[in-house]
Amino acid sequence: MLPIDAAAHSSRWRRRHPVDKAVLGLGLTVLAISLPPWPGAALVLVTAVSVLLGPAGVRARQLWRAYRIPLGFCVTGAATLLVQVGGPDGLVAPAPGGPVRAGELLLRTSAASLGVLLLAFTTPMSDLLPRLVRAGVPAAVVDVALVTYRMSFLLLDAMRRIREAQAARLGHTTRAATWRSLAGLGATAFVRAFDRAARLQSGLAGRGYDGTLRVLVPEARVSVRFVAASAGLLAAVAALTFVLERLLP
């Protein structure tokens, strides 16, 4: 199990309905995209971090380990705005207004990523995916997502075991050996994925599979108070943004 999935299963908000957490997490994401980057996205970023480390009970180290990967993509995307290719200044030159646009993009994307992480750190996929059928998502799509989600952990575990076996047999001592081990790892994982899929299909057929996977979903009710508090927090962030936008230069 990935660390973020383990954190979601042990979260303080584990028993809350996914709608409660979606209103807050996805609401912050929408604000990060729609409000002005400064001070709107900055306020969203501070709010998301405060909720994650505070009421949601996510540890700072867990948050950083999960956040550094999307943050790297955010930084990479923003860095492309610092230069322009072609033009009178040469083949590659600093872009006019590049630092400002790069900073705005970085604020927006990093804040939006935290909103999504808020939902991910508090809502296991096993709670979220089955409820998508009630929201109108075709059952077949949800079934494929559930099977893919669960098989991914089996394949990751298998790849870890294969890699450990290769290291024990000195498969990573040289660059050539490392490339051979990597090729063998990919080939073995590919074969095992097809083998597991075939066994899964046989198992489902033997259990009378009729086109729908039936799973137990923990009972939970939408909390009107939690949704109202989340909406109030989102409204406060939006209002504070417009106030600060007038006061700050």
Average pLDDT over residues 200-228: 75
Tell whether the model's pLDDT for residue 133 goes beyond 80: no
**Tens-digit pLDDT profile for residues 149-183:** 777 777 888 888 888 888 888 878 888 888 888 88
Domain boundaries, the chain: 3-123+220-247, 132-206
DSSP conformation letters of 99-156:
HHHHHHHHHHHHHHHHHHHHHHHH--HHHHGGGGTTTT--HHHHHHHHHHHHHHHHHH
Q: Are 29 and 112 in contact (CB under 8 A)?
A: yes
Q: Residue 177 has what pLDDT?
A: 84
Please give the Cα distance from 249 to 240 (Å, whole number): 15
Q: Assign 27 a pLDDT band (cuts: 50, 70, 90).
A: very high
Q: What is the pLDDT of residue 249?
A: 64
Quote the percentage of the chain above a pLDDT of 70. 94
pLDDT digits (tens, 9 = 90+) for 50-105: 998 888 888 888 888 888 888 889 899 888 888 887 767 667 777 788 788 888 88
Q: What are phi and psi of 43, to 5 degrees?
A: -65, -40
> In whole numbers, what is the pLDDT of the chain averaged over residues?
83
What is the pLDDT, as a whole number, of residue 141?
Answer: 79
Structure tokens, 36: 């002005």
Between 40 and 131, name the one with better pLDDT: 40
pLDDT value at residue 8: 79
* Of residues 8, 108, 12, the one with CA closest to residue 55: 12
End-to-end CA distance of the chain: 47
Asked if the peptide bond before residue 39 counts as cis, ω within 30 degrees of 0, the response is yes
Element containing residue 85 per DSSP (H, E): strand 83-85
φ/ψ of 54, rounded to 5, equals: -95, -95
What's the pTM value of the predicted model, to 2 decimals? 0.76
Measured in degrees and rounded to the nearest 5, phi and psi for residue 93 equal: -145, 160
